A and B are shown apart, each in its own frame.
Chain A
Amino acid sequence: GNSVTQMEGPVTLSEEAFLTINCTYTATGYPSLFWYVQYPGEGLQLLLKATKADDKGSNKGFEATYRKETTSFHLEKGSVQVSDSAVYFCALTHYDKVIFGPGTSLSVIP
């Protein structure tokens, strides 16, 4: 079936460090891929998306590239800030429903 796997957290980084959160997927067909972010006590916000192979999604300094050959969509940011502390979910769409990974908690310390 369709599924999403993410690196386990929690991840703790110092401010201005480089961030990578790994994500791989299993899917039939050609899904669209997403990263969502959930700040403490809040709902989900779409961070970025990519709809076909080799597309790069980007937003707020975060980037992820849709790699069909490795079925991956790793999230990266060159310099994290304390305000980036949140839980990050990798996800894909399958027939209009969103399938989420388990989430990776990120804490950025000053």
Chain B
Amino acid sequence: DAGVTQSPTHLIKTRGQQVTLRCSPKSGHDTVSWYQQALGQGPQFIFQYYEEEERQRGNFPDRFSGHQFPNYSSELNVNALLLGDSALYLCASSFTSGPPYEQYFGPGTRLTVT
């Protein structure tokens, strides 16, 4: 049983560009959450998707948007990249009717903005 997978592993973009990150949840999971982890800090909640809609959102600007597909996989899009967007982006999946603590994290995508 594959766990949470993310692609790509690493990404280098230039300031002002747009980026799309992808996440496939653990088998049987229907909810996907995205987190941003800046270097030396704890992950910060970006947003959560369930039934193809954004269910919760953290304190991130509208430049950050997402999507969830019918197969529960998800994308995170960031427009007009800033140097400060450089971070590890983590995806976590869970089953909405399961225990609230059962979130499984992927290995992350390392985004560098130059």
Report which A residues bind B (CB closer than 8 A): 4, 32, 34, 36, 42-46, 49, 51, 89, 91, 93, 95-103
Asked whether B105 lies within 8 Å of A32 as measured between CB atoms, the reply is no
Asked whether A99 lies within 8 Å of B107 as measured between CB atoms, the reply is no
| B56 proximity list for chain A (CB < 8 A) | 95-97
Question: Could you pull out 7 A-B pairs where Cβ atoms are within 8 angstroms?
Answer: A43-B105, A43-B108, A45-B105, A96-B94, A96-B96, A97-B58, A98-B33
Number of residue pairs spanning A and B whose beta carbons lie under 8 angstroms apart: 59
| B45 proximity list for chain A (CB < 8 A) | 97-99
| A49 proximity list for chain B (CB < 8 A) | 101
With contacts A95-B56, A97-B48, A100-B42 taken as known, whether A32 is within 8 angstroms of B107 at the C-beta atoms is: no
B100 within 8 A of A: yes
Closest chain B residue, CB of each to CB of A92: B101
**Majority-rule SS of A interface residues:** strand
| B96 proximity list for chain A (CB < 8 A) | 96
Closest chain B residue, CB of each to CB of A43: B107
Asked whether B101 lies within 8 Å of A32 as measured between CB atoms, the reply is yes
With contacts A42-B107, A49-B101 taken as known, whether A96 is within 8 angstroms of B41 at the C-beta atoms is: no
B65 within 8 A of A: no
Within 8 A of A (CB), among B45-67: 45, 48, 55-56, 58
Closest chain A residue, CB of each to CB of B3: A43
Q: Which of B41, B43, B48 contacts A44 (CB 8 A)?
A: B43
B31 within 8 A of A: yes
In Å, the complex CA distance between A51 and B55 comes to 23
In Å, the complex CA distance between A49 and B103 comes to 11
User: In the assembled complex, how far is the CB of residue B29 from the closest CB belonging to chain A, in whole angstroms?
Assistant: 12
B106 within 8 A of A: yes
In Å, the complex CA distance between A91 and B99 comes to 16
B92 within 8 A of A: yes
| B103 proximity list for chain A (CB < 8 A) | 46, 93, 98
Q: Which of A43, A45, A93, A102 contacts B42 (CB 8 A)?
A: A102
